[in-house]
Amino acid sequence: MDQLIKKIKAQEEIANQLETALPDREQLLEKVTESANQFLENLPTAKAYQQQEPKMESFLIPEEPKTIKEILDIIQEEVFEPGIRAASGGHMGYIPGGGVFSASLGDFLAAISNEYAGIAFASPGAVAMENVIINWLKKLFSFPENAVGNLASGGSISSLIALTAARDKYGVKNQHILQSVIYMTPQIHHCIQKSLRIIGLEDVIIRYIPLDRHYRMDTLALEKQIHADKSEGLSPFLVIASAGTTDVGAIDPLNEIANISERHRLWFHVDAAYGGFFILTSKKDKFKGIERADSLVVDPHKGMFLPYGIGAVLVKDADAVLHSNLYMANYMQDALSEDLVKSPANVSPELTKHFRALRMWLPLQLHGITPFIASLEEKLLLTTYFRKQLIAAGFQVGPEPELSVSYFWFPYPKDENDFNRRLLHHIHEDGTAFLSSTMLDGRFVIRIAILSFRTKLETIDKAMGMILGCLEKTKMDFSQSELKR
């Protein structure tokens, strides 16, 4: 026994290096805080995008420990510098969020405490915090009090939870899959198709409903298609609408779709991952009908400007969600509760559950809701301002946006798509602001997605200066190319 204790003590001495004493913690925190502050202070002047590949050898696991300075230098040079600077106000491609500083304090405390937020028995406070946030979201979107919800890692897992509940509610499995029909538009986010494949509905019938000229679902075409499918003996069960598409920010006619879904007894799901929180703004009326959805997805890491890794789902049918996710094991018998939906692990695929509620709750407590609403209103105004600037410079723009996503292109008389591809190439080379692209009706267009809380009037002006400079470069490229022909 003495020999065993001696071996334990020897390993304990080495293992204790994982515990950090107070003076060492203070020193580490000082260095990390210094690095974080430097990053934030440099954001206004740093490029939003840099075409650079990281050095993979920098990330190799060393045999000997590194100093905190060496580690922070690697993070700065090989993580922060290459690619999109997601925290930058100049990130106006894809759907930016920004990442408010106060949310990082929540993440820090969540990691320090390592609260397990999956089951109320284990951490009643962490679970209560998540449920308070879910209840706030239910009130915001006028969902009933008995609806269930979950804070997931983002829109993809949130969609997975909602679509699985719809599948199980309608018993879409085995031979029924081939006869079951889902309705959506070509503008739906691709996480929907991905979720359907994951939950075993790859072979379900998907009807892509045509769009109106504003890229919104044509509800007359939807109703007509449902009638046609029923007449052929098929089983329609799910309609998926968007409240803010990724490509153009369009909001489908939610109230009309809700009417159709009710008439035909279909599950009505709304993807509001990007646009949902604009319900807090002057655009509220555009969301009429969202309260009638059977399930809803919204991403706080978009419209609430939080760091990536927090989405939310609301579902009215608690029994369907529990059927999909609830599974008890003998070792968990101490955690069994009569209120099953109280514990996030029972309404989600996640059993191991990060305490992500703290990254949302803390900023809301510290700042209140008013600055978040003002920032969303600001983004709507900045989108209008950006479009006016583009039009004045000779660009063509898409239809009046419903939210803060729009697009533009330069009407070059020859090879228009190639010209705009080259223009975007120069924009990416410059990197002052980051913009992305998409294809709409065969036309290559450049997207602007204004959502970062750090995007300001001066950010748009800088981006406009970059675009004009890149436009001149592109014209020169094409004029030289034409001379060579």
In the chain, the percentage of residues whose pLDDT exceeds 90 is 85
The token pair at 268 is 């009505």
What are the boundaries of each domain within the chain?
Answer: 2-85, 107-367, 370-484
Exposure of 111 in the CB half-sphere (CA atoms within 13 A)? 6
Closest CA to 241 of 219, 221, 212: 219
Instruction: Specify the residue for token string 């206004």.
Output: 44
CA distances to 148, 304, 404 from 453, in Å: 29, 9, 12
Reported as a single tens digit per residue, the pLDDT across 49-87 is 998 889 998 899 998 999 999 999 999 999 999 999 999
Kindly report the pTM of this predicted structure: 0.93
pLDDT at position 275: 96
What's the mean pLDDT in 161-165?
A: 95
Inform me whether the pLDDT recorded for 483 exceeds 70.
no
- Give the residue from 135, 133, 132 showing the smallest Cα distance to 145: 135
Q: Are 116 and 122 in contact (CB under 8 A)?
A: yes
Fold of 107-367: Aspartate Aminotransferase; domain 2 (3.40.640)
Query: Residues 290, 255: contact at Cβ < 8 Å?
Result: no
In the predicted model, is pLDDT for residue 348 greater than 80?
yes
State the Rg of the chain over Cα.
25
Task: For 28-39, write each residue's pLDDT tens digit.
Answer: 999 999 999 999
CATH 3.40.50.261 fits domain 370-484: no
pLDDT in tens, 405-426: 999 999 998 899 999 999 999 9
